[in-house]
Every structure is written in structure tokens, then in C-alpha cells.
Amino acid sequence: MFLMGALLAASLVTAAVGIVVALILLSHPPSYVPRIYALVVLILISSAVAVYCYGWFSVTAGGPFPELCTSWNDAGAELTTIKQQYWPLRNACVYSDGSTVEYVSKSVTVLVCLLAGTALISAGTSVYLRKRVRKLLE
């Protein structure tokens, strides 16, 4: 719990500082464009970590949808346990008759994947531009 809380706080601070630095750099355009992409990668990755940590805390605290696990299912079986999985973030309501109802937090999963994917694309762009700038300088 403490580790995820520290990771959440660090990622939020990193994203906020990255955004401030990006805004400062946009008011004073830098001469080295790959650094901007590297900063974008840092912002996107730290945002993805923050969103995942938020979802993790949500699942750990009973899920973003604890009210969906009813005490009794339609067949009259009693709720025995709630199983949690952390990737993808999901809760499963397990009833005494063996039936299971799963609830997957798609919004958190999609947002984490989009942010991480965009960060990978930005990292590739940064590496490509850095190599291109080196070739032009030689």
C-alpha cells in the first residue's frame, strides 16, 4: 500500500513538473527538439503510472463498482467472495453456487494503454530526431 501511494505521489509530482517545464519551454522555443519529445515521454509515462495507481487503489478499496456486487445473485445464491486482479484492473463477484460476475475497469485500462502507447511513439520519435540531428551536424 505504502509503495503504491509513494509511486502515485511521485508520478503526480513528475507529471506536474513536466507540464510546467513544457510550458516554460514553449514560451522560449529550444534549439534541440528531441528534448521536447523526451519531456513529453516523461509526462505521458508518469501520467500512465498515476492513472494505474489510482485504479489500483480503487480496486484495493473494493473496486470502482462495489455496489455492483449484490449480496444475492438472480438464482438466489449468496455472495461468498470478491476476487481482485490488478492487471487488467478488475473485480469478480463469486457466489455460493459457483457463478462469477466480473467487472472490468475498462476506462482505466484504456487510458493507461493510450498514455503508455503514446509515450512509446514519442520516445521513438525522439530517438529518430536525435539521430537525424547528429547526422546533420556531422
pLDDT confidence bin for 114, thresholds 50/70/90: very high
Phi, psi (deg, nearest 5) at residue 47? -65, -40
CA distance 30 to 108: 34
- Same-domain pairing of 110 and 45: yes
At 45-94, the pLDDT tens digits run 999 999 999 888 877 776 655 556 788 888 899 989 888 887 777 778 89
- Same-domain pairing of 97 and 130: no
User: What is the pLDDT, as a whole number, of residue 73?
Assistant: 86
Phi, psi (deg, nearest 5) at residue 63? 90, 160
C-alpha grid cell, residue 118: 503514446
pTM, rounded to two decimals? 0.75
* Orientation angle between helical segments 33-60 and 106-137, nearest 10 degrees: 160
Range of the domain at 135: 1-63+106-138
- Same-domain pairing of 81 and 25: no
- Same-domain pairing of 3 and 56: yes
Domain count, the chain: 2
- Same-domain pairing of 37 and 73: no
- Same-domain pairing of 72 and 95: yes
- DSSP 8-state assignment for residue 61: T
User: What is the pLDDT, as a whole number, of residue 119?
Assistant: 93
Identify whether 88 is preceded by a cis peptide bond (ω within 30 of 0): yes
C-beta of residue 54 within 8 angstroms of C-beta of residue 86:
no
User: What is the pLDDT, as a whole number, of residue 66?
Assistant: 52
- Same-domain pairing of 94 and 33: no
- Same-domain pairing of 59 and 31: yes
Average pLDDT taken over every residue of the chain:
85
Alpha helices in 1-105 (DSSP H): 2-27, 33-60
Query: Scanning the structure block, which residue is given the C-alpha cell 547526422?
Result: 135
- Same-domain pairing of 44 and 54: yes
- Degrees (nearest 5) of the Cα angle 15, 26, 8? 0
User: What is the pLDDT, as a whole number, of residue 67?
Assistant: 58
User: What is the pLDDT, as a whole number, of residue 63?
Assistant: 60
